[in-house]
Chain A
Amino acid sequence: MRKIALLVVVLAVAGFAVFWFISAPQRAVAAGDASFNAPGEVERGKDIFFAGGCASCHATPNQADRLRLGGGLEMKSPFGSFYAPNISPHPRDGIGNWTNADLANAMMRGVSPDGSHYYPAFPYTSYAGMQADDARHLMTYIRTLQPVEGRARAHDLGFPFNIRRTLGVWKWMFFDTAQVKTDPARSASWNRGQYLTEALAHCAECHSPRNALGALVSAQRYAGGAEAHGDGWVPNITPRSLKDWTRGEWVQLLQMGLTAEGDSVGGSMGSVVRNIAELPKADAEAMADYLMTLPASESPPRPKK
């Protein structure tokens, strides 16, 4: 009997050790990396800011100025409600005290400066594919914006999702930290488009179905599905559904929000278009070049209304 009790204790301790080991936050850039903390270029950072769509979630809702990043947007999910935090350069309520490395680790590994996990409502699952140096430029740009006082409310999540350490297991199961790979067989524009689409603009995060634990279903990447943070339906953007679209129509969609059918996109895509409209036209063209080569994928079944 005592042997069994001992075994249970040993297994529990071992189990917890495994949990603790695999759930440990991993950084992309060492916090004390001095060369990384040298200032970047503001103009490059601004492009990364708009390509990354930061304002879409972090600008306070119903506010005309998209550069005041006080946060507060509610994102509903099957696990509860997330509230986008203040990422203005306010030293107390925002990220004004962050180093460049802190931002790189937040975006590319989903790890906060104090070493806890972020929820993947923050799309670090895509940002992981970016170049660390782009986080350096972005942090430099964010420091030029207006500090906003006040914090967004805390996330409202059910058990066990409210225990951040469990996200380490989620990351161990689903989080691929590989950077976007250049394909030398493709054009420079296609590769730029791949980088923008896959890493910064994180298009797949909305345009793919998710599994029961909220991870993207990779076999149906870009095949659309139920909106994760609302009750809408997100379109399939693979050639399965948009094979007749010309490059010019893609560019027009990305820059002006006009579909090939003459409709004007709305919902969160309206906000995406406002971001991409801030980028050079060559970037929208690059995204079009890449998006047109996505593998055709069948949409998930749509529930009847």
Chain B
Amino acid sequence: MGFRIKAAGALALALIIGAGAAWAQGDVISQRKAAMKAIGDGNRAPAAMLRGEAPFNLSTVQAQLKVIEASATSALKLFPDNSKTGGDTAALPKIWETKADFDGKMRKFADDAKSAQVKITDEASFKQEFPALLKTCGGCHTDYRARRS
């Protein structure tokens, strides 16, 4: 009887830990998705400015640069080894095969967003610098993200 209770308890504990681990892993995936989506959503206003469809607004651009810097910095911790699959992730296995390259690019993305905050002071410097930052997005999506639409 005592053994049975202990076994049931151990099993319950194992289930809780397992579910917790699965939840934590799914959580990392949803966190990194949210970080990337924050960048994408925030890109829409500067993109309209680049197209000349919205008036240039320095504070909106600066706010987005901070979003990119913060999101890219947090994303560095959001691709642990146990998050290769699950949560409908579009992350390709190549991320973990060449993790140093991936991390280097993510860090550079954050750094570029930080230095752009200094470089972008007016509309001319915005039109010069912002497209380069967008190119950085595409650099990683080309190598490290599955095609989904």
- How many residues of chain B are within 8 Å of chain A by beta carbon? 28
- Interface hits, B94-133 → A, CB 8 Å: 131
A267 near B141: Cβ-Cβ < 8 Å: yes
In the bound assembly, the distance between CA atoms of A270 and B139 in angstroms comes to 7
Q: In the complex, which residue of chain B has the Cβ closest to the Cβ of A235?
A: B149
B148 beta carbon closer than 8 Å to chain A: yes
Residue among A224, A231, A262, A270 making CB contact with B138, cutoff 8 Å: A270
**A248 with B149, Cβ < 8 A, contacts A262-B44, A273-B138 known:** no
A114 interfacial by beta-carbon distance below 8 Å: no
Majority-rule SS of B interface residues: helix
Count of A-B residue pairs with CB < 8 Å: 83
A88 within 8 A of B: no
Chain B: minimal CB distance from A220 (Å) = 15
Q: Which B43-74 residues have C-beta < 8 A from chain A?
A: 43-44, 47, 50-53
Q: Measured between alpha carbons, how far is A232 from B29 in the docked complex, in Å?
A: 19
Q: State A234–B140 Cα separation when bound (angstroms).
A: 18
0/1 per residue, A235-265, Cβ < 8 Å to B? 1100000000010110110001110111111
Nearest-neighbour CB distance to chain A for B149, whole angstroms, equals: 4
A230 close to B (CB within 8 Å):
yes
Measured CA separation A261–B38 after assembly (Å): 11
**Interface band, chain A:** 20 to 34
In whole angstroms, how far apart are the Cα atoms of A198 and B131 in the complex?
A: 27
- Asked if A227 is at the interface of the complex by the 8 Å CB criterion, the answer is yes
B106 CB to nearest A CB, Å: 14
- Any chain B CB within 8 A of the CB of A19? no
Contact residue among B47, B53, B142, B147 (Cβ-Cβ distance under 8 Å from A234): B147
In the assembled complex, the CB of A19 is this many whole angstroms from the nearest CB of chain B, namely: 38
A233 on the interface (CB 8 Å rule)?
A: yes
The answer to the question of A39 belonging to the interface, with a C-beta cut-off of 8 Å to chain B, is: no
Bound complex: CA A234 to CA B148 (Å): 7
Check B47–A252 contact: CB distance below 8 A: yes
In contact, B147 and A257 (Cβ under 8 angstroms): no
Whether the Cβ atoms of A262 and B43 lie closer than 8 Å is yes
- Determine if A232 and B148 form an interchain contact, defined as CB atoms under 8 angstroms apart: yes
Q: What residues of chain A lie closer than 8 Å to B22, measured between beta carbons?
A: none
Do A271 and B142 have beta carbons less than 8 Å apart? yes
Residues of A within 8 A of B44 (CB): 260-262
Bound CA–CA A267/B91 (angstroms): 11
- A258 adjacent to B145 (CB under 8 Å): no
User: Is there an interface contact between B146 and A231, defined as CB atoms closer than 8 Å?
Assistant: yes
For residue A266, CB closer than 8 A to chain B, the reply is yes
Q: Give min CB distance, A60 to chain B, whole Å.
A: 15
Kindly state the separation between the CA atoms of A267 and B137 in the bound complex, as whole angstroms: 12
Given the known interface contacts A232-B148, A234-B149, A252-B47, the answer about A264 and B53 at a Cβ–Cβ threshold of 8 Å is no
Contact flag A264-B137 (CB < 8 Å), given A246-B53, A252-B47, A252-B51: yes
- Provide the residues of chain A in CB contact with B40, threshold 8 Å: 261-264
In the complex, besides A232-B147, A264-B43, A270-B138, 9 extra interface pairs with C-beta distance below 8 angstroms are A227-B147, A233-B149, A249-B51, A257-B141, A262-B39, A263-B40, A264-B137, A266-B145, A267-B141
24 A-B residue pairings within 8 Å (CB atoms): A231-B146, A232-B146, A233-B148, A233-B149, A234-B149, A236-B149, A246-B51, A246-B53, A252-B47, A252-B50, A256-B134, A257-B134, A261-B44, A264-B40, A264-B134, A265-B138, A265-B141, A266-B142, A266-B144, A267-B145, A269-B142, A269-B147, A271-B142, A305-B88
When A and B form their complex, which 6 residue pairs have the shortest distance between CB atoms, in order from nearest? Answer: A266-B141, A232-B147, A270-B142, A264-B137, A235-B149, A262-B43
